[in-house]
Structure formats: C-alpha cells, structure tokens
Chains A and B, each alone.
Chain A
C-alpha cells in the first residue's frame, strides 16, 4: 500500500506516512453479508423442531425443539451466540465470529442428541432445525472468507464529509448530545415495537387464551399451507385472503393515485384562487370521517332493501326493475369498495401532487406559450415529467403498506362476499375473535408472521425501485 499524497510505501501498522507525515486513511473493510446470512439462517432454524412426528395428518405432532427442550438455557446460549456472531461481523471482526458460529453447531448437535435420547420413538423424524442450523453454521463460517462486496461498485460515502480523519470515538464524542436526543425515540421504539416482537415466537406455539403456551413446531404452518388433510379448508381460506389482499390493495392504490393525479391536474388549471381553495377544502373533508361512519353512510345508500337510496332512485327512474345487490354480490362488491375508497381518499391524495405542481416554475409555461404550445402540449411536455417523480414516490411509499389493509374492508364486507373481500387482516380478526371457541393466538401470529415476511419483501423491492427512481431508498 502506498501513501496517496507522496506515494511512499507504507506498512500495515503505520498510522502516519513516514515520508510526508500525513495521517493515513485506510480503505474501509467490507462487511461479510454471507456470514451474517448464515447466522440468521441458524437463528431462524432454532425455532423449528429438532425431531417431530413424521405423520403429516397429525400435523407433525408432537414436536421437540429448542423451545421446549428441558433446559431452556441451551436455547438462550444459542441465541446469545447468534447475537455475538452477528455483532462481531457487523463491527468487521468477522474472523472472531468463526468460533461462536461453530459453537452454534456444537450446541445444536448436543441438543439434538439429547432430544433424540429422551423423545426419540418410532415414527419420529428429524425436523428442520438441525438442517437449517448446520447449513447456517457452514454458510456462516465460509462466508467469513468470501468478500462478495468487493465486486460491487463502491458508493460514495457521505459519512465523513466534515470530520475528516477523526476517529470513530472522537466523532461519537462530538455527537454525544445527538445520542441523547435520540434516546426518547429509541426508548419508545424498544418498548412499543421491539419488546412485543418477542411475541413472534408464538408462531411456533399453541397459545390459547387461558392455557400456557406450548411448543408445537410447524403445526400452524401446516394449517396455513394445507399440508395435511384436515388443514385443506383453513389453507384455502388463508390463500384466498392473501390473494384478495394483494388484488384489493394494489388496484385501490392504482385507482386512487390515478384519480388524485387527474384531479390535481385539473385543479391546477383552475385560475380562480377562491374557487380552488373551496374545492380543496371540500375534497379533503371525507378523510376526516372514520371508516365506520363512511361505511354506515354507504351501506345505507347502497342497501338492496326498500330503504336503499340508490336502488330506490334507479327503480323510480325506471333504469332497473330489480334491485341490485351492491353489497352482497361477489361481482359488484369490489367495485363498490373501490368507489368508496375513491370518495374518501382521493382528495387527501391530491395534496402531494398539487404541491409538486405548484413547484413548477411558471417561466417554463411562459416559454412554452411563446413557442405556441397549447394546453395539452404543455401538460405533455412540462407538467407530466415534473409529476412523474412524485407519482412514483407516492406509489412506492404506499406499496410498502399494502398488506395492512384492514379497517376499510372490515366495515364493508359480509359473509356473502368473503370470496372477493376477505383479506389477511380480516381473516386474522375472525380467527381471533369471531370463533365460537377460544382463539389460538399461535395460529394468528403465524399468519401475521407470514404477512410481515411478504410485507418485508415488498418493502425491499420498493426500496430498490425507489433507489432506481429517486436515487435513494425509503428511509
């Protein structure tokens, strides 16, 4: 390695150039993502059963894994070592993470052996845990030696713009007050977001109100994906809810965005400032109504009985001779749902677009006027390009939230339209509260976990898209 100022050869241990005396800035070492991925695989694997019944129709019950292993400290030390490994990798001391990662495998082996001795019986097979953990450990160890990131183009780091060659500790000292400022946020996030996240382990447990949580391995995932005869129906309902969630929220999002853009464009053309402001105030109004109120208004209007206003009106005008069941027909329900969503949220959605439009320099339009461009040419060549970035931003930010669709559906649907309206969140709600038995929170947690995973993938895709489009991610 050479000093970049004078070209003198310098050794690994030098902190200053022997020739010119300047501080040496060494290139940052790359992190080892594969090593971390390996540990994460092992971490996830530890939730799965070590051994379990081989009968799918019994939903692989009973199952034994770390979570119901007789000495819980085995699992705790396992998790602790996972944390240690990841931390070591993160602070770029990945060489030292080989040891804890290897111990993970050893712990797994010991536990597996003991579990087999105690619970091994004919009909029991090895579960996913040993496979995932051993694979994870192997990847974790090998990954330490694979510097995959050096093949990627280096990003220009913005981190050290001002502080120059100060060490990390110096910079931490400079920013000490900022850590203090962040403390409340961190405390809130830890208490209200991260502490409850430990509840995700219930996805592998039976957790009924009134009885102790008990480890059941992959029982709930069997139910979700219909791997046994008895789970076919719940799986069918779950998959349908999953499909509906994507369809409903994506189409809703597309329609709302399109309508909002259209209205913003037209509103932008509005010359009279008072008229424009009154219209804006009016179209924002529905956003301040809660969903239950909106639903009760529209249900009243669209009902298929004598009191439904729309049906009565159409009947008296002679447009139809039979009442239309807007709310109970699988063919019409989605249409009604989209319309109600348009009514409620289009106005609110225009805020961003209007703001963008008002940011376009008037000079551009004046120049176009001189060139003799008409209104539509101006829209085509000036307005739309300016708006495109915002449209994509809004679309991406909202796409990340599509799995959370709940209240708007919950207040509008009914059993006759489950086929087209049931979404993941309403499915979870019914599994929790609308059963005539006591709910199993283990199952709903498993569904929620799956929902989170899909949401996570969507966010990552959006983040990627966002980087492409805007040059930076969502956060």
Chain B
C-alpha cells in the first residue's frame, strides 16, 4: 500500500526533493515496522513454518485460523477478552468522566482535597498481596469483576479527561444551569455530547489495557474457563501449551495465528476512531 501512495505523491505538482526523501523515509520506517508483523502473518499461514528467511508462505494453510474459530478452548478466551474489554472500558469511562467532571467544579468545597486523594494513589500502592487479600474478602476472586474493577479507576486517564473538560466553554455550562438543568442533566446533555473525541481516545486507552491485561488474570482467576485470550496466548507462546498434536500444523503456525488474532480487533477498530482519537488526545492533554 505504501508504495502505491508513494507513486501518487510523485504525480503531484510542485514536488520538491524533500518530499521524495520524506516519503522514502516513511516507506523505510513502515517496512521496518511491518516486517516483523508480516513475518508473523506469513508464518501463521505457513504449514511448514519454523525458521528461515522466507517472507511468503512455503506451504499455504489457513488451518490455524479455522481451528481458532472452531475450537472452544481458543474462541472462548477470545470472547471473554471481548466481554471484559467492553465492560471494563464502560466502567473506566464512567468513572473517569464522573471524576473528571467533579474535578472541574472549581468552587466546590473539597475539590482540591479530592484531587489529591486521587494523586496520592499514583504514588503509593500496597502491593500485590494486600490487594489480593482485599479482593478475596470482597469475594471477587475468580469472577470477572476482579479483573474489571481494579483497572476501572485509572488516575492518569482521569487527569487527561479532566484536562479535556476544562476546554469546554463555561458559558455552555452556565446556559444550561439557567435553563434549570440539574448537574446530572448538564453532564449527560451538555458535557458528554461535546466530549465524543475524548471518550473515543480515552476509551481506546482503556480498551488497549483491558485487552492486553494478563497480570490480573494470572493473580485473581483460577478458573480455566474464565481465562482471557492473553492468558491463552501467553501459555501458547511461552509454554508452547498447544492444543493439538497432529502433523498438519507446526506449533509455530498456531502461535503466530494467535498473535495475529490478538491484534485483529484493534486493527479493525482503530481506523474508525483514529480521527476522534487524535482530536481527543489533542484537546485533552495540550490545550488548556
């Protein structure tokens, strides 16, 4: 794809040497980034895969993907991942927006106190064992809540969200107040609709961290049927705990297919929210 667009650049008028050099640089960068991913992709289709400098499948097979969608022990973790990511992103966004909205109420008594309550958690943490004991006393271990809830509160994201809300003109707020809106009403009717970009951006950040979560699952979940895709992926990549013993696939093929499958959701989602995303982060972190 990169090469065709480069040709397109060349057709433009007023083409300077710099633009060509620039395009070449980015084609090079893209190749450097894509090469390892391409190799993984190729190996996931290559029945003979193993080592070697081949960049095209030597013996093409889509068996690994067929296996992934037809076998419960492969697609179930995938569905769990989706469930956790969706719920977690929702919880995370809810907490971040609520918290952020309260933190921009400058004249609210105790606002600064509350923001320092949040800041303090970025510095000190009790560590894994005390956290585990708390989770166990709440009877959350071995439920998906144990992986959803602790990551739902993310102060870094909350701060980004707050910065974004600051950018919303206060006059809108005032107008709504005069119209007799309750704070909740303003929040849902004025603030949230204006923050789609930030919601997309921070939502994506939450989604990435939920999707890639491994540590929490390892600690809190002992029930095999609640493992997520990253757990499965890691046990396949690190421990080669592969669910098949036949000659049609080499271990590598399935491992590589799993790596690609783990990336697919974001490859699909990302282009859709790229614009929102860039805009959202822009407004949230930079403009004041």
**A interface vs B, CB < 8 Å?**
158-163, 168, 171-172, 175, 177-179, 181-182, 184-186, 188-189, 191-200, 202, 207, 263, 266-267, 269-272, 274-275, 277-290, 292-293, 296-298, 300-301, 307, 309, 312-313, 343, 347, 351-352, 354-356, 358-359, 375, 389-390, 393, 397, 400, 432, 441, 444-445, 448, 452, 455-456, 459, 470, 472, 474-475
Query: Which B residues touch A171, using CB under 8 A?
Result: 107-109
In B202-249, the 8 Å CB interface with A consists of 208, 211-212, 214, 230, 233-234, 237-238
Do A441 and B129 touch across chains, with their CB atoms under 8 A apart? yes
Do B124 and A181 touch across chains, with their CB atoms under 8 A apart? no
Main secondary structure, interface of B, reads helix
Of A298, A307, A475, which one neighbours B118 at CB under 8 angstroms? Answer: A475
Query: Which B residues touch A159, using CB under 8 A?
Result: 106-107, 111
Of A192, A343, A359, which one neighbours B153 at CB under 8 angstroms? Answer: A192
Query: Which A residues touch B130, using CB under 8 A?
Result: 195-199, 202
Alpha-carbon distance A267/B22, docked complex (angstroms):
8
14 pairs, CB–CB < 8 Å, chain A vs chain B: A181-B101, A185-B98, A185-B158, A196-B134, A266-B22, A270-B23, A279-B26, A282-B30, A286-B33, A288-B267, A309-B53, A352-B285, A359-B286, A459-B123
Of A186, A195, A269, A278, which one neighbours B1 at CB under 8 angstroms? Answer: A278
CB closest residue in chain A, given B135 = A192
Q: What is the total of A-B residue contacts with beta carbons within 8 Å?
A: 253
- Contact of B69 with A by CB under 8 A: no
Query: Which A residues touch B26, using CB under 8 A?
Result: 266-267, 270, 275, 279
Query: Which B residues touch A163, using CB under 8 A?
Result: 107
Alpha-carbon distance A200/B129, docked complex (angstroms):
10
Do B119 and A455 touch across chains, with their CB atoms under 8 A apart? no
Knowing A192-B134, A196-B131 are in contact, say whether A352-B19 is a contact too (CB < 8 A): no
Of B114, B126, B156, B281, which one neighbours A200 at CB under 8 angstroms? Answer: B126
Do A356 and B263 touch across chains, with their CB atoms under 8 A apart? no
Minimum C-beta distance from B118 to chain A (A)? 7
Do A285 and B263 touch across chains, with their CB atoms under 8 A apart? yes
Alpha-carbon distance A162/B9, docked complex (angstroms):
55
- Contact of B127 with A by CB under 8 A: yes
- Contact of B37 with A by CB under 8 A: yes
Of A272, A284, A300, A448, which one neighbours B127 at CB under 8 angstroms? Answer: A448
- Contact of B143 with A by CB under 8 A: no
Knowing A177-B183, A285-B263, A296-B237 are in contact, say whether A343-B32 is a contact too (CB < 8 A): yes
Minimum C-beta distance from B202 to chain A (A)? 12
CB closest residue in chain B, given A176 = B183
Do B123 and A277 touch across chains, with their CB atoms under 8 A apart? no
Alpha-carbon distance A465/B139, docked complex (angstroms):
43
Query: Which A residues touch B178, using CB under 8 A?
Result: none
Query: Which B residues touch A269, using CB under 8 A?
Result: 18-19, 22
Alpha-carbon distance A371/B279, docked complex (angstroms):
31
Alpha-carbon distance A444/B123, docked complex (angstroms):
17
Main secondary structure, interface of A, reads helix
Query: For chain B, which range describes its interface: under 10, 10 to 19, 20 to 34, or 35 or more residues?
Result: 35 or more
Minimum C-beta distance from B147 to chain A (A)? 12
Alpha-carbon distance A193/B34, docked complex (angstroms):
39
Candidate in B40, B115, B129, B187 with the most chain A CB atoms within 10 angstroms = B129
CB closest residue in chain B, given A473 = B119
Query: Which B residues touch A192, using CB under 8 A?
Result: 131, 134, 149-150, 153
User: Which of B58-66, B82-90, B269-277 lines the interface with chain A?
Assistant: B269-277
Alpha-carbon distance A172/B29, docked complex (angstroms):
55
Query: Which A residues touch B237, using CB under 8 A?
Result: 292-293, 296
Do B8 and A188 touch across chains, with their CB atoms under 8 A apart? no
Minimum C-beta distance from A176 to chain B (A)? 9
CB closest residue in chain A, given B53 = A309
Query: Which A residues touch B159, using CB under 8 A?
Result: 474-475
Alpha-carbon distance A74/B287, docked complex (angstroms):
52
Do B127 and A441 touch across chains, with their CB atoms under 8 A apart? yes
Do A189 and B117 touch across chains, with their CB atoms under 8 A apart? yes
- Contact of B278 with A by CB under 8 A: yes
Minimum C-beta distance from A289 to chain B (A)? 6
Of A313, A356, A456, which one neighbours B286 at CB under 8 angstroms? Answer: A356
Query: Which B residues touch A181, using CB under 8 A?
Result: 98, 101-102, 183-184, 187
CB closest residue in chain B, given A458 = B123
Alpha-carbon distance A312/B253, docked complex (angstroms):
22
Alpha-carbon distance A184/B22, docked complex (angstroms):
49
Query: Which B residues touch A375, using CB under 8 A?
Result: 18
CB closest residue in chain A, given B185 = A177
Minimum C-beta distance from B135 to chain A (A)? 8
CB closest residue in chain B, given A472 = B288
Do A188 and B95 touch across chains, with their CB atoms under 8 A apart? yes
- Contact of B282 with A by CB under 8 A: yes
Query: Which B residues touch A472, using CB under 8 A?
Result: 288
